[in-house]
Amino acid sequence: MSDKRPRGTLMGEGVADALVVTGKAPRVLAFHGFTGTPQEVALVVEVAQELGLGAEAPLLPGHGARVSDLAPLRFADWLAAAEQHYARLAADGPVVVAGLSMGSLLAFHLAAKHPASTVGVIALANAMWLKTPWPALALKLADRLRIPDFWMPKSAPDLGDREQRALHLTYNAQPVRAAISLLRAGEALSERLHLVKAPTLLLHGALDAVAPVANACRVAVRLGTLEKRTVIFERSRHILTRDVEREAVRAEIAKFLRQVANISPT
């Protein structure tokens, strides 16, 4: 069944509210992707809560209501918001940063800038580079030609699980100039990954149509930490936290959080 809501609004079901659970340190700070909502990283928050850790997944600026709210914003705006959330959590102890797609770029930025207070990084479907030819080449061409901003329609989120695809809460269009800022941010950040010293978990779907699966290994070799684990999920797409292998994704996140938080397996 096609979504009948006007272009420039949310498709899917649920609420776009921030997620917050109380618990001990290290606290987990998880960021959603471009045009998404905290629903995308709810799995991370759930695992942290099960382990007794505090966790938050904020709603990033411009998200959760109308695409017109997102269009004028750029990666610097989302990073500034991420910094504020991080500073508040880090004031009470060490932090694990996590993110899906664009959220992973925010996580890497924070880990590189704050090595002393970051004890772990979880990168899900990292968007350091975007898929070629679509959307990477299309965005680069629009950038080079200085095409005025417009909204590209989205038919559905990149999810293999049909039920979850229908339910997933995300915008039904994406503003091109804001997307270009994300593309540029990833390319610039790739040169700073050596500054990431915290243990890192890289999870990616082999069928990802947005961020190529090769991103996982390309990022892994650039990281400044020797403590890193890369796992590819052969049947998963971009939103792997909600896809057909989500329970295996959950298990990997739980194992990693136990290790960085020194929690003994039950």
Cα 111–136–172 angle (5° rounding)?
90
Q: Determine the average pLDDT of the residues in 142-153.
A: 85
What is the CATH T-level fold of the domain 10-261, as seen in this structure?
Answer: Rossmann fold (3.40.50)
Helix (H/G/I), strand (E/B), else coil: 17: coil
Question: What are the pLDDT digits (tens) for 196-247?
Answer: 999 999 999 999 999 999 999 999 999 999 999 999 999 999 999 999 999 9
With a cut of 60, say whether residue 1 has pLDDT above it: no
CA-based nearest residue to 186, from 164, 151, 219, 224: 219
Is there a contact between 15 and 9 (Cβ–Cβ < 8 Å)? no
With 0-12 CB in 10 A as exposed, 13-18 as middle and 19+ as buried, what is 248?
middle
Q: Determine the average pLDDT of the residues in 164-170.
A: 95
Place of tokens 């772990």: 120
- Please report which confidence band the pLDDT of residue 42 belongs to, taking 50, 70 and 90 as the band edges: very high
Is there a contact between 217 and 140 (Cβ–Cβ < 8 Å)? no
Q: Determine the average pLDDT of the residues in 65-72.
A: 96
Q: Determine the average pLDDT of the residues in 133-151.
A: 85
Complete DSSP assignment for 107-152: HHHHHHH-TTTEEEEEEES--SS--TTTTHHHHHHHHHTTPPP-EE
Question: What are the pLDDT digits (tens) for 226-235?
Answer: 999 999 999 9
Q: Determine the average pLDDT of the residues in 49-53.
A: 97
- Domain regions of the chain by residue span: 10-261
Torsional class of 8: left (φ above 0), alpha (ψ -120 to 50), beta (otherwise): left
CA distances, 254 to each of 162, 228, 247, 263 (Å): 25, 15, 10, 10
Residues 175 and 157: their CA atoms lie apart, in Å, by: 16
With a cut of 60, say whether residue 49 has pLDDT above it: yes
Whole-structure pTM value: 0.95
- Please report which confidence band the pLDDT of residue 188 belongs to, taking 50, 70 and 90 as the band edges: very high
Residue 75's pLDDT is what? 97
187-191 long-range Cβ contacts below 8 angstroms, 24+ apart: 187/128, 187/129, 189/105, 189/108, 189/109, 189/112, 189/128, 190/128, 190/129, 190/218, 190/219, 190/222
Question: What are the pLDDT digits (tens) for 112-126?
Answer: 999 999 999 999 999
**Tokens representing 15?**
């609420």
Place of tokens 């080079």: 144
Going 141 to 6 to 209 to 246, the CA torsion angle's sign is: positive
Is there a contact between 200 and 163 (Cβ–Cβ < 8 Å)? no
Q: Determine the average pLDDT of the residues in 166-179.
A: 94
SS3 of the chain: helix, strand, coil, percent, to 5? 40, 20, 45
